[in-house]
């Protein structure tokens, strides 16, 4: 095992890492896109894009698309995106332009919008797969399996971002929910690990599923509000 640093707020560096991996790896059994910004203040990335959207979705989209051919040729491979129930908060975003993405819509909505983008990305890939586009085999059992997951409330450093964004109210809110937050190792990682490793994904044909702890649902594009 070895670590590779990737700066998701810098698309040029993200591209370099992605292409370096693509040139060196012969297969990818699982790609879990887990890094992300939480509920926090609006800021622009090095590329002049809302940092939430770039870190949580755009950079991960680019990374996964560069590595997609390796996933496609690896039997039973998985692409797993760490989404959130926050994706249900968004009802009027269009993803129509950079100007729209660079509009400060508040800490919670900035985060929620990226989580909706991840779910939409998975549903879009499943649709392309069914049509045999983007190098996919349209066979329903072919690789990769594409899933989005919800980890639940997890005790990470993200609540600190909410405190910084909302001040005193943020600290009160975090203090209220902190006792209910899951340990990231014991529970928080389970949905992603299930999606990435469980044989039930293939047995139950969970292509395009949205997985939460103990449950999964198939999400259709027309069911999403955006």
Mind telling me the catalytic residues? 111, 115
* Residues in CB range of 197: below 8 A, 6 or more apart: 30, 78
Strand order in the sheet with 78-82: 30-33, 78-82, 145-149, 209-212, 215-218
CB of 120 within 8 A of CB of 224? Answer: yes
CA 47 to chain centre: 20
Preceding omega of 144 cis (within 30 degrees of 0)? yes
Q: Where are the beta strands (DSSP E) in the chain?
A: 30-33, 78-82, 145-149, 209-212, 215-218
């Amino acid at each position: 095992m070895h670590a590779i640093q990737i700066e998701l707020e810098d698309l040029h560096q993200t591209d370099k890492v992605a292409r370096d991996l693509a040139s060196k790896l012969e297969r990818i059994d699982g790609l879990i896109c887990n890094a992300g910004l939480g509920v926090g203040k609006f800021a622009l990335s090095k590329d002049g894009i809302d940092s939430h959207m770039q870190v949580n979705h755009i950079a991960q989209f680019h990374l996964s698309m560069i590595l997609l051919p390796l996933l496609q040729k690896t039997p039973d491979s998985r692409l797993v995106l760490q989404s959130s129930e926050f994706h249900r908060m968004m009802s009027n975003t269009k993803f129509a332009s950079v100007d729209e993405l660079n509009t400060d819509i508040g800490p919670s909505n900035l985060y929620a919008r990226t989580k909706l983008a991840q779910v939409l990305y998975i549903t879009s890939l499943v649709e392309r797969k069914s049509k045999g586009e983007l190098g996919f085999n349209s066979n329903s059992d072919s690789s990769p399996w594409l899933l989005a997951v919800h980890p639940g409330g997890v005790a990470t450093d993200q609540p600190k971002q909410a405190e910084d964004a909302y001040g005193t109210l943020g600290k009160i809110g975090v203090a209220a929910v902190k006792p209910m937050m899951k340990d990231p190792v014991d529970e928080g990682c389970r949905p992603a690990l299930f999606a990435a490793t469980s044989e039930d994904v293939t047995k139950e044909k969970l292509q395009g599923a949205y997985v939460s702890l103990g449950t999964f649902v198939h999400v259709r594009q027309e069911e999403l509000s955006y």
